[in-house]
A and B are shown apart, each in its own frame.
Chain A
Amino acid sequence: MRELTYLEAVREAMSLEMRKNDDVFLMGEDIGVYGGAFGVTRGMIEEFGPERIRNTPISEAGIAGAAVGSALTGMRPIMELQFSDFITIALDQIVNQAAKLRYMYGGKGKVPMVVRTPSGSGTGAAAQHSQSLEAWVAHIPGLKVVQPSTAYDVKGLLKAAMDDDNPVIFYEHKLLYKTSSEVPEEEYSIPLGKADIKREGTDVTIVASAIMVHKALEAAAELEKEGISVEIVDPRTLVPLDTETIIQSVTKTGRLVVVHEAVKRGGFGGEIASMIAESEAFDYLDAPIKRLGGISAPIPYNPELEKAAVPQVPDIINAVKETLNK
């Protein structure tokens, strides 16, 4: 099968949808001839024109609100939020309007919009362009939250997000844009709320999201050399969360390490750990749950400091060994 990069998978999913559904359009900063800050929309304005590849002013609240209003009145907008850090400016529209309109109107209206946004550190962009803030939106009833880790998942999950009648926040990890995997040419959908076991194993479960899936895979390959068998569960969507797959895996292995790039304190890992603690899998735990996440500091500029601010492969290896008392 042909390979596609994560970035190309985003573009292909949108383009396939836009070719067949006139209600789908894209709004964002510099998404026109510039092609978007990361090049995701390159070539799209040439194919779809400036009406549907709608280059906007630097107005995140305005764009988000226009997306909500157009979704409420019959369009299916995709908003490209240039960096996920800028969600601070758009949050009123996302949290107070998009997430709540249907409920507070008593089930009238729907807001089928996707907010696509690059997140994560590792680019040297420092504190205001490197955050992973997915826990904020996962906290809000009414929103769905997607965090794909591979090009294959990107294409299927973005299709599902575009088909969904609810506001979906779709996190794209910057460092994954250039990674490749096999991606079918035809359209396909991966249901939101279905985790993927990225590696099967028997000794320890690692629940890892976004780029941490890849770091966990690396760690698992190292650990295998020492005879430790690691299972890696990629939730793929935080809301809805496939609790069943995670519970089954932990029930099988009896050990859980949760790893994400976002700051550990208040991060979504706490939700996963708590969910397991409240579930039938708790009785199967042979060791305390281990959480790995970013340190409680802004992302620093210096490359060595930046790396140290978020979990790396050796951290994951150590965490797995700790749960095994090794």
Chain B
Amino acid sequence: MEQTKSLKLVPEISDEKLKDLYKQMWLIRYFDEQVDQFFAKGMIHGTTHLAVGQEATAVGACALLSDEDKITSTHRGHGHSIAKGGRVDKMMAELFGRTTGYCKGKGGSMHIADLDKGNLGAMGIVGGGIPLAVGSALTAHMKKLEYVTVCFFGDGASNEGSFHEAVNMASIWDLPVVFFCENNQYGMSGNVKEMTNIENIAERAAAYGIPGVVIDGNNIIEVINATYEATERARRGEGPTLIEAKTYRWKGHSKSDAKKYRTREEEKDWRENRDPIKKFKEELIEAGIVTEEEAEKIKQEAKQDLDDAVQFAQDSPMPTLDDLLTDVYA
């Protein structure tokens, strides 16, 4: 496959699949941009954490995962859900609090899960999903199943004790898990440079005797390659890898963030010079996989999917009070 060589991809990926990944990135961007607008208009309530600008990490890390492979996600999880095969209509319905939503309207933005697709769910507690991912990997190990678990977390979570306990346990037991740190530079307002005393979070891998890799999280090709190597290593029974993908969230932490802790210039630089979707599009065109027109068409398809999802959500029924006490216990 000539084009994959020009894209510097390590695993072989078909053109169709690459186009689909491109579409997924747009779906994530449109989804979170739309959610942002709905919040601004007061059409959905609660809070939300948007991953605009971080599309390449979610899509790249999940690009080669099967439905049997698992992920654990975070409070900033819409992108992970879409990348792992989640349906945007059921996601949007969830944000609208409808019964057709992934969680029947009981979870909202922070708890979308799709167990059939291997998404073990978004955890609203920073670092909470990391030991859980180790448990998922432990099941694979004990039942001798082939699947790997990719554990998403942020730079902020790498300062939680749960991160260190979990990575240590996975390392001593050689569990098939990939710790995928999306370093978007800020844990809420806390700049990673102020909150850690190391240059790269991936350096923490050395403390647990596992490989630590730093990649450009806005370059989907790098994300795919690094995750591929890590998952292959995990599937061979050689244990976990810590990947640190440097990226940036274009929006604030949540809906009520005045972003006083960073400059507009910094934001502008990431938007204009390091847009992961723009970069991927340029590479696809350069490799002859899509034309400018085809790329635009894919983008419009994503927009259409999103519009359909919004329609589905708005047309869906609300839960009733009878649903309040169901599913507390199995």
Q: Does residue A314 face the partner (Cβ distance < 8 Å to B)?
A: no
Q: Is the CB of A74 within 8 A of B106?
A: no
Q: Which residue of A lies closest to B137 (CB)?
A: A69
B130 contact set on A, CB distance < 8 A: 65
Q: Does residue A103 face the partner (Cβ distance < 8 Å to B)?
A: yes
Q: Does residue A124 face the partner (Cβ distance < 8 Å to B)?
A: no
Q: Which residue of A lies closest to B175 (CB)?
A: A66
Q: Is the CB of B139 within 8 A of A70?
A: yes
Q: Is the CB of B327 within 8 A of A62?
A: no
Q: Which residue of A lies closest to B327 (CB)?
A: A107
B140 contact set on A, CB distance < 8 A: 73
A73 contact set on B, CB distance < 8 A: 70, 120, 135-136, 139-140
Q: Which residue of A lies closest to B116 (CB)?
A: A108
Q: Is the CB of A107 within 8 A of B326?
A: yes
Encoded as 1 (CB less than 8 Å from any B CB) or 0, chain A from 105 to 145 comes to 11111111000000000000000000000000000011010
Stretch of A91-99, A214-222, A274-282 at the chain-chain interface: A91-99
Encoded as 1 (CB less than 8 Å from any B CB) or 0, chain A from 42 to 82 comes to 00000000011000110101111111111111110100000
Output the least CB separation between B49 and chain A (Å). 16
Q: Which residue of B lies closest to A71 (CB)?
A: B135
B107 contact set on A, CB distance < 8 A: 104-106
Which of A51, A66, A70, A96 has most B Cβ within 10 Å?
A66
Q: Is the CB of A61 within 8 A of B113?
A: no
Q: Does residue B143 face the partner (Cβ distance < 8 Å to A)?
A: yes
A75 contact set on B, CB distance < 8 A: 135, 138-139, 142-143
Stretch of B57-65, B162-170, B275-283 at the chain-chain interface: B162-170
Q: A69-B120, A73-B139, A108-B113 are in contact. Are A62 and B168 (CB under 8 A)?
A: yes
Q: A66-B166, A72-B120 are in contact. Are A103 and B106 (CB under 8 A)?
A: yes
Output the least CB separation between A175 and chain B (Å). 31
Q: Does residue B102 face the partner (Cβ distance < 8 Å to A)?
A: yes
Our pick among B101, B111, B138, B328 for the contact of A70 (Cβ within 8 Å) is B138
Stretch of B15-23, B121-129, B222-230, B263-271 at the chain-chain interface: B121-129
B134 contact set on A, CB distance < 8 A: 62, 65-66, 69
B104 contact set on A, CB distance < 8 A: 106-107
Q: Does residue B156 face the partner (Cβ distance < 8 Å to A)?
A: no
Q: Is the CB of A65 within 8 A of B136?
A: no
Once bound together, how far apart are the Cα atoms of A57 and B121, in whole Å? 26
Q: Which residue of A lies closest to B168 (CB)?
A: A57
Q: Does residue A170 face the partner (Cβ distance < 8 Å to B)?
A: no
Q: Does residue B161 face the partner (Cβ distance < 8 Å to A)?
A: yes
In the A-B complex, the 5 residue pairs with the smallest Cβ-Cβ separation, listed nearest first, are A65-B131, A69-B135, A62-B165, A106-B104, A106-B103
Enumerate chain A interface residues (CB-CB to B < 8 A).
25, 51-52, 56-57, 59, 61-75, 77, 89, 92-93, 96-97, 101-112, 141-142, 144, 165-166
